Amino acid sequence: MTITMNGIEKRFGDKPVLEGIDLVLAPGRVTALIGASGSGKTTLLNIIAGLLEPSAGRILFDGRDVTPLDAAERNIGYVFQSFALFPHLNVRDNVAFGPRMRGMKRAERHERAMTALARVRMDSFADRGVDALSGGQRQRVALARALATEPDILLLDEPLSALDPVLRDDIRSELRALLEPLDITTLIVTHDKADAFVLADRIVMLSGGRILQEGTPRDLYDRPTHIEVAAFFGAVNTLFDAASEGGTGPILRPEDLRLAENAARADLTITVGRQLYLGDRLRVMGLTADGTSVTVDLPKATGLRDGDVLHLNLPPGHRDRAAAPLLSLPGRS
């Protein structure tokens, strides 16, 4: 199912939360809405779900205007941030809750529940209480409950935020493997870039209630169109050419820079000011002669000391200014 948002706006009193959202979600694809707290991502999710009314604009499912319809009329599966499982029900009855609310007979809803549990590889846990499950197992049960009503659209609100960091890394790839074969239009809200990179086919970044950029994970990381997008997805160097026009400048990730063979072959020279040990690499921060801050990731065993001079090479694409990725920089016009 294709989801189309035309001119969606939302205000709470005089405060605008969403402004001019125009977005199309392709059928069967997984899209992540990402942004900092207060960016409007959960508000937009709830408008799509029918839990909030937009102040302006329309929501269309396969071209049909569903804006006036409430949540129960939209055939959406919703996985809540807290999973919202019922502690007094076993796994099967938790998953059968949606079909039960739709008036299905006991045998039919239990069949639906077992089918959904099998899809997430939890059918052998059907008779267990939810309190006996791990965090990852609860996450899968919550997904099965959303699937039991055979929804046209799947919405997930911070689906991994309730998990501890180690478990989150494990469950992230598992959830991706569960979502891929479903062929259901899926929208995930997250503030975690790793969640967005692993789970989504496309990412939409919001800031201040507006869309900053939409594209593939690689687009937003390697080819950001705005400094806020670039910085959100990791450390970034902006090497602005004062002679250029248009308020743009090339970006470099710390991993893009390499040690030069010698000073004569260097594209860039910095004086080391600070070093951070990151386990698999060393992050070095320094300044160029004109005071530009530069961050570079290097192998751990470099023997560097603060105050040392580093000679660096840019990647080939950045040596040709016309070929370098460009993004808008604040304070330029």
Q: What is the CATH number of the domain that holds 208?
A: 3.40.50.300
Same domain, 244 and 214: no
Q: Which residues contact 267 (CB under 8 A, 6 or more apart)?
A: 260, 312, 313, 314, 319
> What sign for the dihedral angle of Cα 144, 148, 149, 152?
positive
- The answer to whether residue 323 is domain-embedded is no
Per the structure, the complete domain to which residue 244 belongs is given by 236-318
Query: Which is nearest to 182 in space by CA: 95, 138, 119?
Result: 119
Q: What is the pLDDT along the chain (333 residues), one digit of tens a residue?
A: 999 999 999 999 999 999 999 999 999 999 999 999 999 999 999 999 999 999 999 999 999 999 999 999 999 999 887 778 899 999 999 999 999 988 999 999 999 999 999 999 999 999 999 999 988 889 889 999 999 999 999 999 988 887 777 778 888 888 898 898 889 999 999 999 999 999 999 999 999 999 999 999 999 998 898 889 999 999 988 775 533 444 455 678 999 999 998 899 999 999 999 999 999 999 999 999 989 899 999 988 778 899 999 999 988 866 544 334 445 444 443
Cβ(172)–Cβ(66) below 8 Å: no
Same domain, 179 and 242: no
> Which residue's entry shows tokens 């016009």?
333
Cβ(196)–Cβ(41) below 8 Å: no
pLDDT of residue 333: 36
- The answer to whether residue 110 is domain-embedded is yes
Same domain, 218 and 243: no
Task: List, in sequence order, every beta strand (DSSP E) within the chain.
Answer: 3-12, 15-25, 30-34, 56-61, 64-65, 76-79, 153-157, 185-190, 202-207, 210-215, 237-238, 248-252, 258-259, 268-277, 282-287, 293-298, 309-313, 326-328
Rounded to whole angstroms, the Cα distance separating 41 from 32 reads: 10
CATH number of the domain at 310, please. 2.40.50.140
- The answer to whether residue 330 is domain-embedded is no
If one counts the domains in the chain, the total is 2
CA atoms within 13 A of residue 122's CA, in its CB half-sphere: 30
Same domain, 71 and 220: yes
Select from 175, 206, 226 the last residue of a domain: 226
The pTM for the full model equals: 0.86
